[in-house]
Chain A
């Protein structure tokens, strides 16, 4: 099973409810778990752990959903690994997702 961590800040679980809904509805029904975080510097953050069976079609759809959500929420910082993906195209996000080794 492939797992990806997508960190969104500043954010609460309510702020990303629509994103979770869209991701959960994708083909293959990826499992989405949420972890809320309160940092020592005062930042609030939510991390999505997306778990899926490695279908290339699903990875492409995840990239499209993420970039569409980012374009509607320009003030949120979205990190995939150590890369801030705000402003990236869906194709670039898809490439980054494919580079992540299964754990």
Chain B
């Protein structure tokens, strides 16, 4: 076992990893003709290798579709750690690099995307309440787990069709590819890979956070890794325009979820988190404008308008609720 695999085992926290009866029944209704598939969705006892195969298949697609990338970054292992702290990280020990994905982000993406993709079938008021509760849940999970002040996770609409489940799986897979691509981007920079000649992230418009505070070198590093990740991921889905549209809009959703969470969790003193996500949002829009096709760009504008209409009001209500919980936590 490598040092980083040992770390992942040490950080692992016990948690429920079996399907609930309710979820099992939803899958059974969709896949009644395929009992083997249901069994495969049942879940297994957690080990370092449980999710490794899946995440490494996403990594392999990125390496395969980006010529020359593997020559610089090698084939770093991609491990999932079952705890609730970070999003993803690039880890380096004396003799290896590895990508580690926290279960917090995989749960967040699956749940928020499910509410987004299936939420179109429920009334607007219900969707609004659902998103507000989801934001408060994830904000408190991130901030007050140790104090035991975690807002309960609301129920999301059930799985009903194969097509819906396929769309959801694809959306989350594209977002996870982007996260893995971001960490590969850090390794690529660390190992002296050739950088874009005129990186978008270094232009003034993308670093619009500079009007908020002096330029921050660590934010610049993150935006450069994002720019590389965006290109790596786009190349992995570019063969098919429909897939490209869903992949790019899914990455946009990932950034927006976190931007809103940063707004909700901001304490008004240290706005670095908000600044980072705001910079990411600007970078993403500009990058998409430069390299995406017309259909993809139109989708981004549509998704952006829909999100602002459907989710943003819920995020602002969640901010007020979170402040009340923070006051309780501070006492």
Which of A's residues lie within 8 Å of B, judged by CB? Answer: 3-5, 7, 33-45, 47, 49, 81-84, 103
Contact = CB atoms under 8 A, between A and B. Distances in A.
A34 B276 CA distance: 27
A40 B89 CA distance: 6
Contacts of A4: 10
12 contacts: A4-B10, A33-B3, A35-B7, A36-B92, A37-B90, A38-B186, A39-B87, A42-B222, A49-B3, A81-B13, A82-B13, A83-B146
B251 to A, nearest CB: 13
A11 to B, nearest CB: 13
Contacts of A36: 91-93
A36 to B, nearest CB: 5
B7 A40 contact: no
Chain B at the A interface: SS class: helix
Contacts, number: 72
B94 interface: yes
Interface string B138-182: 000000011000000000000000000000000000000001001
Chain A at the B interface: SS class: strand
Interface of B: 3-4, 6-7, 9-11, 13, 83-84, 86-94, 100, 105, 145-146, 179, 182-183, 186, 218-219, 221-222, 272-273, 276
Given A39-B86, A82-B83, A83-B146, 18 more contacts: A3-B10, A5-B11, A33-B3, A33-B94, A37-B89, A37-B90, A38-B89, A38-B90, A39-B87, A40-B87, A40-B105, A41-B87, A42-B219, A44-B218, A49-B7, A81-B13, A82-B13, A103-B9
